[in-house]
Amino acid sequence: MDLLAQGSESFIYFDQGTVIKRRIRRPFLEEILDNRLRKERTTREFNILKKIHGMLNVPKPYEKQTYEFTMEYIDGTHPKLTPEIASFIGETLQHLHSHNIIHYDLTIFNLLESDQIYIIDFGLSFYSYKLEDKAMDLLVAISEAPEYEQEILESYRDEKVLKKLEEIKKRARYVH
């Protein structure tokens, strides 16, 4: 088993053609709380991948255990940020939001390019019908690619969410 990546909450391993995402114990949290959060986040991420696999290019989830799951290995690299990739991010968020899925970290670091572009790492994702959550998801993407804000917004077509995004931006102007 080879370590592919390490995040703040998990280790990502490559093992016999599959990826294992294992959520790790965080000693700064009380153990019962940490166990509950790891279990909930593992289940939610696995279920979201199951729901959208086939609708969007995401790794196919295979099997879930309490604090880890296995999924398809995608042999790719992070794409360069271009106007086309920025538009792809906006379109992808639009699609996710139409299914009330908030990614909350859709940046080029959570995209892999091989034969096509894949969306990865749904570790922060959750379900929400709220315009505020969808607009904040969009704001996170824009904040990671400010030079391509126009492309992201032009490819995102939900006017209600775009209006809420403008409200959020106005509120943020007064925060110091």
| Same domain for 165 and 109 | yes
Proportion of the chain in helix, strand, coil states, percent, rounded to 5: 45, 20, 35
Domain count, the chain: 2
Name the residue among 123, 136, 114 with its Cα closest to residue 38. Answer: 123
| Same domain for 154 and 90 | yes
**Tens digits of per-residue pLDDT, 6-42?**
988 899 999 999 999 999 999 999 999 999 999 999 9
Structural domain harbouring 7:
2-72
Residue 132's contacts (CB-CB under 8 Å, 6 or more residues apart) are 164, 168
Catalogue the active-site residues. 105
| Same domain for 38 and 105 | no
**Tens digits of per-residue pLDDT, 133-176?**
999 999 999 999 999 999 999 999 999 999 999 999 998 765 54
Q: Following DSSP, what letter does each residue of 58-99 receive, concatenated?
A: -PPEEEE-SSEEEEE----BPPP--HHHHHHHHHHHHHHHHT
